[in-house]
Amino acid sequence: MPGPDSSLEEALLAQGAGAIAGVDEVGRGPLAGPVVAAAVIFDPATLPEGLNDSKKLSERKREALTALLMERCLVGIGSASVAEIDEINILRASHLAMLRAVEALPVRPDHLLIDGNMIPRDCPCPASAVIKGDARSVSIAAASIVAKSWRDKGMRDLAQQYPGYGWETNMGYPSKSHISALRDLGVTPHHRRSFKPVHNILFQEISAKP
């Protein structure tokens, strides 16, 4: 399958849209850490080469592209905390992070291209949901790269405060070593208590208390 291109953005420009932002989030699946989203408005003349779905790029490539995107594009970053994920559920928290990323942009977009099959409620401007958008749209691909780089850095920082869970490599996802550490070391303030593996361990801890 070919990589993302700018055909979706070009179609919107032809219809009269000005600023078009690609929006994507990272971190729905982990047991720990926030969900992070990015919104990117790019200038075709300065767009870095090599944009693709962030999962298909090496960490080094993502970080290099993120530095270029932050320099050459308009970028907004938003997140939803573990407490918010537990309170409103991961889907709504993901949408909240997306809306915060759009709000963080220095200009208000005319249209959003949002990865996935749903448009968040209370969207501040017209928007289109794009299934597998990070493989189809360069602006969504750019947003996925920035969001993943930003979240990965945050998880590496947390790993230094909470060693033993392997967050510097698993980024909070439910790897075998993470699950094992969760059982051995217990639940941290950065674990999502509404997620079943964490909830079950927490419930066992509470039940075991005299």
Tens digits of per-residue pLDDT, 186-207?
999 999 999 999 999 887 755 4
Within 124-209, strands assigned E span: 127-130
Tens digits of per-residue pLDDT, 69-84?
999 999 999 999 999 9
Does residue 106 surpass a pLDDT of 90? Answer: yes
Tens digits of per-residue pLDDT, 166-187?
999 999 999 999 999 999 999 9
Average pLDDT over residues 14-18: 91
Q: Between 18 and 191, name the one with better pLDDT.
A: 191
Q: What is the structure's pLDDT at 132?
A: 94
In whole angstroms, give the CA distance from residue 44 to residue 147.
20
Phi-psi domain of 166 (left: phi exceeds 0; alpha: psi -120 through 50; beta: other): left
Tens digits of per-residue pLDDT, 48-62?
888 888 888 999 999
Instruction: Specify the amino acid at residue 202.
Output: L
HSE of 52 in the Cβ direction (CA atoms, 13 Å)? 11
Q: Between 110 and 50, name the one with better pLDDT.
A: 110
Cβ atoms 204, 184 nearer than 8 A: no
Q: What is the structure's pLDDT at 28?
A: 97
Computed on alpha carbons and rounded to an integer, the radius of gyration of the chain in Å comes to 18
Element holding 176 (H helix, E strand) = helix 176-185
In whole angstroms, give the CA distance from residue 39 to residue 20.
10
Average pLDDT over residues 114-140: 95
Q: What is the structure's pLDDT at 1?
A: 52
SS3 130: strand
Q: What is the structure's pLDDT at 73?
A: 95
Phi-psi domain of 186 (left: phi exceeds 0; alpha: psi -120 through 50; beta: other): left
Q: Across all residues in the chain, what is the average pLDDT? A: 93
Residues annotated within a binding site: 24-25, 115
Does residue 155 surpass a pLDDT of 60? Answer: yes
Average pLDDT over residues 126-130: 97
Q: What is the structure's pLDDT at 113?
A: 98
For the chain, the 3-state helix, strand and coil shares in percent, each to the nearest 5, are 50, 15, 35
Token pair for 200: 């079950």
Q: What is the structure's pLDDT at 181?
A: 95
Of 44-48, 94-98, 205-209, the one with minimum mean pLDDT is 205-209
Rounded to the nearest 10 degrees, the angle between the axes of helix 138-161 and helix 59-72 is: 120
φ and ψ at 24, to 5 degrees? Answer: -150, 160
Closest CA to 186 of 55, 65, 31, 2: 31
Residues annotated within a binding site for a divalent metal cation: 24-25, 115
